[in-house]
Amino acid sequence: MLSRLFERAANVLMITMMAVMVALVFGNVVLRYAFNSGIVFSEEASRFVFMWLTLIGALLVMKDNMHLGMSTLVARLGERGQRFCKFVADFGALACCLLLVHGSWKLVVIGMDDRAPVTGVPIGLVYACLPVASAGMALILVHSLWRLLSGRMRRDELVNDTGTAGE
């Protein structure tokens, strides 16, 4: 229930951010070419919104287990081999996410004293997308590892097979 609410809110947020980006960039282009003026903060604001949009999107893609993966070799292994590979991959990704949370939080704290040159937004707020996304990914990975180690993960979930995605 909470997961669906989070996903719905994240989708609405992403749609809103995309609309803001399109409006800022398109409006700026029209103003530059038609009226020889522009929206001063458009480039900076759209860059900041793009950072948040990308990382929230990556978080949602991870929740749905749709990131690219090399499943050719893992799919040929038996169930025990697949479980081992899933454990190694999830544990390694969790370690990376935790390192990213730690380092990016320090970056956010440092960045709160700096302001963007045009918008005046604290840079720490812009960089906050990093710990938010990496902490969310870490929670997803902890849940995946818990399901794997407790035996609740089905065999068809062990290999990320999106075979027809590119066709």
- Judge whether residue 134 has pLDDT over 70: yes
Section 49-53 average pLDDT: 94
Distance CA 130, CA 103 (A): 9
Query: Which tokens sit at 41?
Result: 């903060």
- Judge whether residue 162 has pLDDT over 70: no
- Judge whether residue 166 has pLDDT over 50: no
- Given pLDDT bands bounded at 50, 70 and 90, which one contains residue 4? confident
Query: Which tokens sit at 163?
Result: 């075979």
Query: Which tokens sit at 99?
Result: 């390192």
How confident is the model over 58-70, as pLDDT tens digits? 999 998 888 777 7
DSSP helix/strand/coil, 115: strand
- Pick 103 or 7 by higher pLDDT: 103
Q: Report the pLDDT value the prediction gives residue 75, as an integer from 0 to 100.
A: 84
